[in-house]
């Protein structure tokens, strides 16, 4: 069994993503553990935990699309844009389902989104949430995000449930807040579940209790996805023994089939994943981008 891989964890409500990393570290005894995409304490669902050498592919996991189910409470605005914050305004909810549907249309596609003050975005090296806790509000730069799909799946005023597919960096709390502002009554997020992160789905996720049980039985590596599953969107490059040995030693290689250029997953003749390589179109060679094991 290998201790390098990706744990698709079903995060419970309450703990932070950092808490989950610390818990996995204690259960496994592996020091090199990180997560790929923060979930707020309020949120549940898919949290990808990278263990061992899989921490080196976290950037590719974070780049994937995310799918969320969000519940918003209209008529109440909070300072954090979610149920964890203090109420700052209340208003009557007079919006109809049709009006909510119409308001949602302006949030589809590429939009500029203002990060909330209670976020980990840094200003001059200081996270915004630390400033917010001191009662300090600063100007923030809007960020371009993309909402590929946004649907109203349940309407039970003053609450509504949304499902969305979005790019990395999207703040669902901000979307709930902005929806309330558009409707003129305010709103905040009361529940959030990440249904998918890239190809990792909630129905395939492992609960913390299941992982703890597997750790007690010393079989927790069986629950990990291989680290090359984070790179499945890149084509595979199969090399002979000599070529893969030279590539893993940091050398460029001229042999090997080019498939669309860019990055490729590199496998040796035994089918074992070894590295990520980049094609240099000018020199017509493959160069190692990341080597995960020697051949």
Mean pLDDT across 43-65: 95
Per domain, the residue ranges of the chain are 5-64+199-229, 66-197, 234-291
CA 117 remoteness from chain centre: 20
Mean pLDDT across 2-17: 94
pLDDT for the residue 256: 56
Catalytic choice (40, 79, 82, 178)? 40
Closest by CA to 147, choosing from 175, 177, 187, 116, is: 175
Mean pLDDT across 266-292: 92
pLDDT for the residue 126: 76
Mean pLDDT across 200-223: 97
Contact predicate 159/104, CB 8 Å: no
Domain at 234-291, CATH homologous superfamily: PUA domain (2.30.130.10)
Would you say the C-alpha torsion 72, 73, 75, 79 has a positive or negative sign?
Answer: negative
pLDDT confidence of 3, banded at 50, 70, 90? confident
One fold for 66-197 and 234-291: no
Return the CATH fold of 66-197. Pseudouridine synthase (3.30.2350)
Q: Which helix (H) or strand (E) holds 17?
A: helix 17-28
pLDDT confidence of 260, banded at 50, 70, 90? low
Which pTM value belongs to this model?
0.91
Contact predicate 172/189, CB 8 Å: yes
Contact predicate 154/168, CB 8 Å: no
Contact predicate 71/192, CB 8 Å: yes
Q: Does domain 5-64+199-229 have CATH number 3.10.580.10?
A: no
Residue 242 annotated to the active site: no
Strands 33-35 and 126-127: unpaired
pLDDT for the residue 294: 85
pLDDT for the residue 168: 92
pLDDT for the residue 281: 84
Helices assigned H by DSSP within 110-187: 128-133, 172-183
Contact predicate 182/106, CB 8 Å: yes
Span between the terminal Cα atoms of the chain, in Å: 18
Of the listed ranges 70-79, 85-94, 139-148, the one predicted with least confidence: 139-148
């Amino acid at each position: 069994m290998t201790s390098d891989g990706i744990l698709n964890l079903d995060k419970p409500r309450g703990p932070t993503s950092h808490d989950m990393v610390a818990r996995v570290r204690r259960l496994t005894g592996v020091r090199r553990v990180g997560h790929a995409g923060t979930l707020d304490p309020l949120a549940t669902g898919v949290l990808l935990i990278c263990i061992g050498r899989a921490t080196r592919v976290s950037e590719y996991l974070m780049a994937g699309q995310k799918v969320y189910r969000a519940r918003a409470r209209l008529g109440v605005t909070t300072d954090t844009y979610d149920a964890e914050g203090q109420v700052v305004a209340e208003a009557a909810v007079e919006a109809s389902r049709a009006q909510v549907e119409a308001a949602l249309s302006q949030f589809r596609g590429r939009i500029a989104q203002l990060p909330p003050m209670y976020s980990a975005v840094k200003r001059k090296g200081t996270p915004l949430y630390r400033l917010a806790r001191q009662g300090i509000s600063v100007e923030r730069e809007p960020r371009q995000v993309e909402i590929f799909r946004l649907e109203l799946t349940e309407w039970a005023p003053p609450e509504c449930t949304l499902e969305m597919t979005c790019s990395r960096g999207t703040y669902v709390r901000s979307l709930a807040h902005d929806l309330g502002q558009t409707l003129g009554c305010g709103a905040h997020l009361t529940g959030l579940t990440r249904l998918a992160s890239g190809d990792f789905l909630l129905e395939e996720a492992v609960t913390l209790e299941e992982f703890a049980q597997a750790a007690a039985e010393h079989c927790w590596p069986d629950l990990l996805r291989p680290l090359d599953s984070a790179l499945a969107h890149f084509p595979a490059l199969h090399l002979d023994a000599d070529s893969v040995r030279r590539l893993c030693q940091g050398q460029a290689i001229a042999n090997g089939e080019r498939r669309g250029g860019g990055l490729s997953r590199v496998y040796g003749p035994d089918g074992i994943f070894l590295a990520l390589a980049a094609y240099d179109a000018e020199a017509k060679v493959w160069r190692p981008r990341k080597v995960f094991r020697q051949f």
